[in-house]
Amino acid sequence: MRNNNHRASPTTLCVTVNRVERRFGDVQVLRGVDLNVERGELAALYGPSGSGKTTLLNLIGALDRPTAGQIAFYGQDILRMNDRARTKLRRKSIGFIFQSSTLLPTYTAIENIDLALRLLKLNVFERSRRAKSALQAVGLSAWANHVPDELSGGQRQRVAIARALAMHPKLILADEPTSGLDTRLARRMLALFRSIAETQGTTFLIVSHDPMVIEYVDHAYDLFDGQLTPRLIVREETSQEEIPC
């Protein structure tokens, strides 16, 4: 894993957040947040409920606009983009894993993934290949033809993870991706994120309350009172043995 004290060059920066503020009426949720995340890194955001973690994710994912500040995606100022360009960015370059799985109830697991892939205008053979590969990666090949009501909460969460991975985005924004998973499955998903980041250069920004997440990330931050501060990661040399090559 990378050294936590790094200076990223502009060409490798996936996400740049500069002095970002967000107010909702009289409530100021974010107060001058700065954040840089490099290509292929995993970063975790910690903080109490209501601290603004999901708000920050929505801003970076071009789902919302800040009250002040700048946000760039690989050097592109997303705040200067029109709505059509922002939509195209979300469809092609950013994957989302929400706290609720947001699966369509009448579609099977593989159909939910296929529907997302249609937005990329892929042919049916490539969509099928990606969907099957993603379900296999999260251990749900046998459940491909089951609708969400036939799946457990943890299985629905893994389908949502598979849907994001199948799109091969440059950035994945994950809001509590290990919630509803037992320790074994949570570790498997985090190790999968680690492997994809290292082999494909995908960047992961993970919002979590799970202390285990910090074992798998390059950088961690605490969001409190609208401000972001780095968290020191102390990792044993042997901890990386859990991450597959």
pLDDT at 235: 65
Q: Decide the pairing of beta strands 219-224 and 227-231.
A: antiparallel
CA distance 160 to 102: 8
Q: Is 60 exceeded by the pLDDT of residue 241? A: no
Residues 98 and 112: their CA atoms lie apart, in Å, by 14
User: Tens of pLDDT along 89-126?
Assistant: 999 999 999 888 789 999 999 999 999 999 999 999 99
Q: Model confidence over 148-179: pLDDT tens digits?
A: 999 999 999 999 999 999 999 999 999 999 98
Whole-number pLDDT of residue 164: 96
Per-residue model confidence (pLDDT) at position 11: 61
pTM of full prediction above 0.85: yes
CA angle 7, 8, 14 (to 5 degrees): 145
Q: Which pLDDT score is estimated for 100?
A: 80
CB-based contacts of 132, cutoff 8 Å, min separation 6: 110, 141, 144
Q: Name residues whose C-beta falls within 8 Å of residue 131's C-beta, 6 or more positions apart in sequence.
A: 110, 113, 114, 117, 144, 162, 166
User: Per-residue pLDDT tens for 48-63?
Assistant: 988 999 999 999 999 9
Closest CA to 146 of 111, 193, 186: 111
User: Which residue from 201, 230, 193 is spatially nearest to 12, judged by alpha carbons?
Assistant: 201
Q: Is 140 exposed, middle or buried (0-12, 13-18, 19+ CB in 10 A)?
A: buried
Q: Report the pLDDT averaged over residues 181-206.
A: 96
Query: pLDDT tens digits, residue range 134-144?
Result: 999 999 999 99
